[in-house]
Structure formats: structure tokens, C-alpha cells
Amino acid sequence: MLFECLDSFKVSGNLLVGTIPDRLIDCLHLKSIDISRNNIAGSVSSNFGVLEDLQEMRLNENKLTGSIPTSIFNLSEIKVLALQSNSLTGSLPTEIGLMRKVMSITLNHNEMKGTIPTELSEIRTLMHLHLHFNQFTLDAPAMTFAGTENYTYITDCGDPSFALVEPLKCKSCTMCCNSLNACQKTENLKLTKIEITMMCSVIVPLIIGIIYYIILSVKSSTRVDFLRNERPLLNMYNHDSVYSFIFSPDWLARGLYLFTMGLQVALYLIYLVSSSFDEEDNDWIFSFRCPGNDLECKDEKTVNEFGWVLFFFVNIFNLGPDAVLSVLQLRRGIAMQDILLIISGFLLFFVTSLGFVTSSFYNSALAEKNTDLITNAVILLFINDLDEQVLRFLEHLYPYWTMNSKQQVNRLLHRKLGDSKKENMGEIRFEASWEGSSDDA
């Protein structure tokens, strides 16, 4: 008679042993069962399916074995099904889709196998679906959760996946765990890293160019003179970079320019792709730990805002000069309607912003400590200096051809201004600096 009057049975965390009491089935109006965090063994009885008013079933962190009876999923009123951290086996039946009011399903840290039923996607009330550290394989269903924030969908979709018979793929999971018992958040961005990079590296300089063109078209002499910026062209490119060869009339020099830029872009793309969570061979560090006794996953990364501020300054002082030069070249090229200056400014902005965005994404994937942020940033900055290293290599291998190419660049840019006096002075300064460097050598 006592059991018939119960609507809640909670004995969690008492180190109880034995099996689940059969007399609980007599409590036909039972709404909550909590036997979690004990040493209860045996299996989950199929007779629980008669408890039509049951809203919470918490049997987690015990020693339950066997498969989950199908009758459990016929409980239409259930809102919480917590069976994690047991030794449950078998597969997950399609009847799980009948639980139309359930908000939390936690079956993680068991030994279940098979595929994840697509019927789960029909449940619109879910906020937490935890299936990690099991043996589920193939494709996990795409889920639609009740809220736009604070929902969690965790499976074993991480890499490496050697503990699984076949890899598990999950495009809508909020977190993926791997066979090393570590997890990582997936990115919920609608745009991929490649798309974001293209926006920063291509669309931004195009917008800058269009804005300058529109402003320069305005018949306001004061503004136009200000925007024209009569700074000497020799101050608008890096003399120590092979990128200056775009202004050379020698097609071999321009070919070296294109080759170097293509090599830089290819190197950046390798790191960019490696920092994409969706790629199979990515460099993501799985820094989260998702224990079976907690719904929350803990991030073991120690990177903080101070580290990112230092990262920003390291990059801005190294990449900033090229970014400024690219904008100046775009600005002067539009004012002078010079296609070479426009192309040079556009491509320089592209490769510079590509370096910054790649470094940011790669650090978000790999950095575990503040020192990792700086170390990775410095490594990637070597790629940014590739254009200067190529020029130094040419100066040692073909010194006279390189010197002649640099002189041709100076002459061409001075000719654009029609300033012969500056041209002569520029050549004198160039020859003096060249002779000085030769004497030092």
C-alpha cells in the first residue's frame, strides 16, 4: 500500500547494492525515480513501461547491464532519461522517437552499439542529447533543439576514432569526442574558415577600392587632394621584397613575384585547412573532458584574453606595415588610374590578411597555453617573410640581375611621377646602398 501512494522515489548517492526493486512497478502514478550514484546491478526491467506518469528516470552511475527495454521509450510523459555511466549494451531502438516530451537523454559512458536512430530528429523538446563514449557508428542524425542556446549534442565524432568499428560523423553536434577520451567543441559558424578568409582577404580590399574610387569621383578638390596623398611612390613598396618585382618590365621578375605569392598562399592554406574542424586530418587539440558524472564538459585550455592581446600585437607589428603599404598602393593606384599599383595593393592586402586570419584560426585549434599563441604566431610569421627571403636568395645567386631588376623598378615608378630629379637621387641612394652592402659582404 505504501508503494502505491508514492509519486517520487529518490535514493541517490547512498552506495546501495543489489538490484532495482520490483515493487516500484506497483507505484502506477510514480513520476520520478532517482537511484543514481549507487552500486545497483542487474538490468532495467521492461515493466517500467507501465508507469505512464513517469517524468524522470535517473539510473545513472550504477552497474546496470543488458540492453534498454523498448517499453521505456513508450513513456510519453518522460522528460529526463539519465542512464549514463553504466555497462548497458545493445542498440538504440527506433522507438526512442516516441518520447515527444523528453528534454534530456544521457546515455553516454556505456557500451551501446549500432547506429543512432534518425527518429531522434523528430523530438522537438530536446535540450541535451549525450551519446558519447559508446560504440555508435556511421552518420548521426541532424537535430533541431528546443532552444537556440545552451543545448548540447555530444557523440564520438572526433578524431582519432580507433575504438570504433567505423567512424561516426555528426554535422550538427555541439561537441565531438575521440577514442582518447577527450572532446572538443565544434564550430557553430554558418561560414567556414575558408569563406571567412576570402571575405577578409578579397572582399575587404575590393570595398576599400570602391570607396576610394567613389570619393575621388566627388568634385571636392580639398578632399580629393587629401586622399591623393602625394607621398613618393618609392615609399609605397618594400625595396627588400620580391613583391617589388611586379613593377618590373621583366616578365621573369614578375614570374618570380607570382611564384612567391602562390607559394605563400599555398603554405597558409595548409595551415588554414588543418585548423578546420570539418577536415579529417586537422590539428585540433581536444582539450575538453566530459566525465560521466557531470553534464558539463570542462575545458583544460589555459589560453586567456591576455594571451590573445599579446598575439594581436605580435601580428600587428609584423603584418601591419604590409597592410598599410597595400592600402596606400590601392589608394594611389585608384587616384592615378594605374592598374599595376591597384593589382599590387590588392594582392599584398590579400596575402597579408590571409596570414593574420590563418594564424588566428590555427591558434584557436592548436593553442593550449598563452605561450602556444605566441609560438605558433611566430612560426607562421616566417611564411610572411618568405618574399624577403626569396629576394635575399636571388641577391646571392644572381646579384647583377637582381640589382638591375630593382633599378628598373625604381625607374618605372619615378617615370610614373615624371620626376627625373628624384629618379637620379633614388638611383644614387640605391647604388650607394648596394655598394655598401657589397663591401660588407
Query: Hey, what domains does the chain have and what are their CATH numbers?
Result: 2-185 (3.80.10.10), 193-283+300-440 (no CATH)
Preceding amide of 160 cis, omega within 30 = yes
pLDDT per residue as tens digits for the range 115-165: 999 999 888 889 999 999 999 999 999 888 766 678 889 999 988 888 898
pLDDT per residue as tens digits for the range 303-323: 999 999 999 999 989 988 888
Average pLDDT, integer, range 290-310 = 89
Long-range contacts, stretch 296-299, CB < 8 angstroms, 24+ apart:
297/154, 297/175, 297/183
- pLDDT of amino acid 67: 92
DSSP state of 145: -
When mean pLDDT is compared across 22-36, 352-366, 384-398, 413-427, the lowest value belongs to 413-427
Q: Which residue has the higher pLDDT, 134 or 329?
A: 134
Instruction: Please report which confidence band the pLDDT of residue 328 belongs to, taking 50, 70 and 90 as the band edges.
Output: confident
Angle between helices 339-366 and 204-217 (to 10 degrees): 140
How deeply is 300 buried, as exposed, middle or buried, from its count of CB atoms within 10 A (0-12, 13-18, 19+)?
exposed
- Return the C-alpha cell found at 177: 569526442
pLDDT per residue as tens digits for the range 62-108: 999 999 999 898 888 899 999 999 999 999 988 888 888 999 999 99
Average pLDDT, integer, range 256-285 = 85
Cα–Cα dist 229/227, whole Å: 5
Residues 6 or more apart whose CB falls under 8 angstroms from that of 295 comprise 104, 106, 128, 130, 152
State the number of CA atoms in the 13 A half-sphere of 326 facing the CB: 23
How deeply is 36 buried, as exposed, middle or buried, from its count of CB atoms within 10 A (0-12, 13-18, 19+)?
buried
Average pLDDT, integer, range 284-299 = 87
- pLDDT of amino acid 194: 56
- pLDDT of amino acid 350: 86
Predicted confidence (pLDDT) at residue 430 exceeds the cutoff of 50: no
